Amino acid sequence: MSQRLLLPLLVLVAALAAWSAGAAALPPVLLPGPMDVLGAISADPGRLIGAALRTGSCALAGLGIGALIGAGLGVGFLWSRSLELAVYPYALLLQTLPVVAVAPLLVVWLGYGAPVAVAASALVCFFPLLTAAHVGLLGVDPEQVELFALYKASRWQELRWLRLPAAAPAAFAGLRTAAGLSVIGAIVGEFVGSNGDPPSIGYLVLRSARSADTALTFAAVGAAAALAGALYAAVRAAEALALRSYHPSQRGPSR
C-alpha cells in the first residue's frame, strides 16, 4: 500500500481510537461514540440521505450562481478599470459580512425554503470565485497579448483563445475552495430558513442538538463533510479532465 493511502488511513484509525476512548469516559449526550453515530445513521438512513441531497442541491446551485457572477465580474474588471475601481470595494465589503448575520435578512426577503440556502451559499462562494477569475484572466504572458494585438484579434477572440485557457488553473483553484464554502453557506441558510419540509442537513443539526440527540448531530455533520468532500472531488476530477492535455500540474499523479 502506498504512502498516499497508508498515512491517511493511519490518521483515521488513530482518530477513531481517540474518539472511542473519549466517548467511553463521557456521557453519550456530550460525546457519542462511533457506534452510537452509526446507530443514528442506520435508524433512518433515508432521512439523512434526503437531507444531504436537499442541502447538496442548494449548495450546487449557490456555487453555480457564485461562479457565474464571479466570472462575469472578472471579465468586466478585465475590460473596464473604472468598473473594477467602482465595484471591487463593495465586493470586498460583501465578503467581510458574516453570512450568519445576513441570513435572517435573506429570510425576510426570500421567505422560508431553498432560496435562502441557495442565496447564502452563493454569497460565501462569490468573492473567492471573483478573485480567482480576476487573477487568472490577468495572469497572461504580455508577449502573447501583443501577438493577439498584432493579428488584430478582437477582445472576444483574445478572451476565448488566450485568457480563458490561461485562467483555467486559477479558476479551478477558486472552485475547489468555493466547493466547501458552498456547503457551509447552504447549511447556515438552512439554520434560519428551513422549516424541515423537506428536511435538510441544517435543519437536522439544529433539531437534533436542541433535543440533545448528539449522535444524530454528529451523523448530520458527517453527512455535511461527506457532501463537501464529494463536491471537492467532482471539481478536482473536472479540473484534471479539462487541464490534462496542456497544463503541467495535471500531467503527474493526482495530488
Distance between CA atoms of 64 and 60, rounded to whole angstroms? 6
Q: Mean pLDDT, to the nearest integer, of 225-229?
A: 94
- pLDDT for 255 equals 45
Which of 1.10.287.1080, 1.10.8.640, 1.10.3720.10, 1.10.238.10 would CATH assign to domain 36-250? Answer: 1.10.3720.10
Q: Mean pLDDT, to the nearest integer, of 226-243?
A: 93
Q: Mean pLDDT, to the nearest integer, of 36-54?
A: 93
- pLDDT for 131 equals 95
pLDDT over 60 (residue 72): yes
pLDDT band at 246 (very low <50, low <70, confident <90, very high): low
CA nearest to 31, candidates 19, 41, 43, 39:
19
Q: Mean pLDDT, to the nearest integer, of 34-53?
A: 93
Q: Mean pLDDT, to the nearest integer, of 45-57?
A: 94
Q: Render pLDDT for 158-189 as a digit per residue (tens, 0 to 9).
A: 999 999 999 999 999 999 999 999 999 999 99
- pLDDT for 254 equals 45
- pLDDT for 196 equals 80
Q: What is the mean pLDDT of the chain?
A: 91
Q: What are 250's three cell numbers?
A: 495535471
Domain boundaries, the chain: 36-250
